[in-house]
């Protein structure tokens, strides 16, 4: 079966901020992926690697169930799922940071919001897709606020009165700017990372080590 075909399996984002860079990175490792891209799966023809193209939020689950042994995703996505899933993803380890997909998870408030410091958020409603990381941050700061979880389009929450402020990813800052929001607190910095599950199969593990060595060589050459 596909599951035990003796090949290493890596899960990467199928579309979104990390997708193209992740495919390019594999190509820079000398891995040639079939041109006609299947919706789910790409098989390398010169390296024993299968690439699963999936939603970034699903990558930890692909590893935890051992469908894939490696993944590339944002630190933010990994840490959020680890914060929420109660130990389910504790085994997943960050192997290396990749230097792309840089962004930060930040709190942002409407331009006319009277913000002095984090305590200004006490009793307010905060919209986010990162409940786990935001809740941790607020607890550390001893601030109690209501969190509303949204799957996307978090930036519209204040305008629609769904929430007073937001906590979302920022990279260029354009989304905040065009929605009349300003950044007040950085909850975490993030970038793309390689994550790995424990690999019991000796052969798969040695393929994995080969790939990681190639990734390190590519990054060294670029820096």
149 contacts ligand PRP (rule: CB under 6 A)? no
Q: Which of 168, 192, 195, 207 binds ligand PRP (CB under 6 A)?
A: 168
| Residue whose tokens read 């469908």 | 67
Stretch binding ligand PRP (CB under 6 A), from 80-88, 148-156, 159-167, 209-217: 148-156
80 contacts Zn ion (rule: CB under 5 A)? no
Closer of 172 and 223 to ligand PRP (Cβ): 172
Least distance to ligand PRP, CB of residue 129, Å:
7
Q: Which of 171, 198, 209, 217 binds ligand PRP (CB under 6 A)?
A: 171
84 contacts ligand PRP (rule: CB under 6 A)? no
Q: Which of 39, 46, 174, 223 binds ligand PRP (CB under 6 A)?
A: 174
- CA distance linking residue 60 with residue 80, whole number of Å: 11
Q: What would the 3-class secondary structure string for the chain be?
A: CHHHCCCEEEEEECCCCCHHHHHHHHHHCCCCECCCCCCCEEEECCCCEEEEEECHHHHHHHHHCCCCCEEEEEHHHHHHHHHHCCCCCCCCEEEEECCCCCEEEEEEEECCCCCCCHHHHCCCEEEECCHHHHHHHHHHCCCCCEEEECCCCHHHCCCCCCCCEEEEEECCCHHHHHCCEEEEEEEEEECEEEEECCCCCHHHHHHHHHHHHHHHHHHHHHC
Closer of 17 and 214 to ligand PRP (Cβ): 17
Least distance to ligand PRP, CB of residue 137, Å:
17
Q: Which of 25, 56, 192, 207 binds Zn ion (CB under 5 A)?
A: 56
80 contacts ligand PRP (rule: CB under 6 A)? no
# binding residues, Zn ion (CB under 5 A):
1
Give residues in contact with ligand PRP (CB under 6 A): 16-17, 152, 154-155, 168-175
Give residues in contact with Zn ion (CB under 5 A): 56
């Amino acid at each position: 079966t596909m599951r035990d075909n003796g090949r290493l399996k890596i899960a990467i984002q199928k579309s979104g901020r990390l997708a193209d860079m992740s495919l390019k990175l594999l190509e820079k490792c000398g891995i040639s992926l079939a041109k006609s891209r299947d919706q789910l799966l790409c098989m390398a023809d010169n390296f024993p690697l299968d690439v699963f193209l999936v939603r970034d939020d699903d990558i930890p689950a692909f590893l935890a169930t051992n469908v894939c042994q490696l993944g590339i995703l944002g630190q933010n996505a990994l840490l959020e799922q680890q914060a929420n899933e109660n130990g389910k993803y504790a085994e997943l380890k960050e192997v290396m940071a990749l230097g792309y997909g840089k962004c930060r998870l930040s709190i942002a408030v409407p331009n006319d919001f009277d913000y002095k410091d984090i305590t200004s958020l006490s009793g307010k409603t905060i919209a986010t897709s990162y409940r786990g990381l935001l809740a941790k941050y607020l607890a550390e700061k001893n601030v109690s606020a209501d969190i509303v979880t949204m799957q996307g389009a978090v930036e519209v929450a204040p305008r629609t009165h769904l929430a007073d402020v937001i906590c979302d990813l920022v990279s260029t800052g354009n989304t905040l700017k065009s929605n009349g929001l300003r950044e007040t607190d950085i909850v975490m910095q993030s970038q793309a990372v390689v994550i790995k599950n424990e690999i019991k199969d000796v052969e798969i593990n040695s393929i994995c080590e080969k790939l990681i060595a190639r990734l390190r060589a590519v990054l060294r050459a670029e820096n």
